[in-house]
Amino acid sequence: MIKAILYKEWIKTRYLFLLAAVILAAFTAYCQLRIGKVVSLRGAAHLWEILLSRDNTFYEPMRYVPLFSGVLLALFQLVPEMQQNRLKLCLHLPLPQNKIIGIMLGFGVSLLLALFVVTYLIIFLYLNPILAPELICRVMLTMLPWYVAGIAGYAFVAFAVLEPTWRRRLLNVLAGAAFIQIFYLSSYAEAYNQVIVWLLIITLALVGLSFLSVSRFKDGVQ
């Protein structure tokens, strides 16, 4: 039964998954071309200097890409469930309601994490021969809040889409926008090192807000 739910979620999201993978790959490639250009024109030492002395990590164009991916994934996955109240079909399945919703949301978060981990891995493999481990770490820690923002975007769009009333939907979107803004308050490198673990824990816990929306849907709130 779990496999069947995952199959349904995959049917809805597979094209978006491919699109998100292409966009992430394109942006990663673009950022790495910028790094490659600096290395070929001025040498790796100049790259080290920029990374150490300025807040430029060369991956800034990717800032909003994970967020964009998370928002789009939630829309592609959950809007079809709410069109014509199709969520009723899902809740009628012979499984506990929270388990069904948990599997759906777990699928979405896993898909995002898979995309993000692969991107991270590509960046690591690319930087490994040209940068010291500390500098690779600096780049990756600077980018980490953007990826957590991607999961937060997914969590809040899911919270809003699964909500049955438009008024609450709007409030959920506003709450989401306020929370996500936290991830973009500072553009300094490694600015979030002290809080990123907590932000990640809070973000993962916020995925659970969607259960509240489904519960309201189930009570027939209009």
* Backbone phi, psi, residue 118, to 5°: -65, -45
In the block, residue with structure tokens 């800032």: 63
Min separation Cβ 7 and other proteins, Å: 6
If you write DSSP's letter for every residue of the chain in order, what string do you get?
Answer: -HHHHHHHHHHHHHHHHHHHHHHHHHHHHHHHHHHHHHHHHH-HHHHHHHHHHSS--S-GGGTTHHHHHHHHHHHHHHHHHHGGGTHHHHHTSSS-HHHHHHHHHHHHHHHHHHHHHHHHHHHHHHHTTTS-HHHHHHHHHHHHHHHHHHHHHHHHHHHHHH-SSHHHHHHHHHHHHHHHHGGGS--STTTTTTTHHHHHHHHHHHTTHHHHHHHHHHTT--
Min separation Cβ 99 and other proteins, Å: 9
Q: Of these, 38, 39, 75, 91, which contacts other proteins (CB under 8 A)?
A: 91
Q: Of these, 40, 53, 84, 194, which contacts other proteins (CB under 8 A)?
A: 84
Residue 95 makes contact with other proteins by CB under 8 A? yes
Min separation Cβ 170 and other proteins, Å: 20
Residue 218 makes contact with other proteins by CB under 8 A? yes
Q: Of these, 125, 166, 188, 220, which contacts other proteins (CB under 8 A)?
A: 220
For other proteins, the closer of residues 16 and 39 by Cβ is 16
Residue 18 makes contact with other proteins by CB under 8 A? no
Residue 72 makes contact with other proteins by CB under 8 A? no
Min separation Cβ 12 and other proteins, Å: 6
Min separation Cβ 36 and other proteins, Å: 41
For other proteins, the closer of residues 12 and 138 by Cβ is 12
- Binding residues (CB under 8 A) for other proteins: these are 1, 3-4, 7-8, 11-12, 80, 84-86, 88-89, 91-96, 217-220, 222
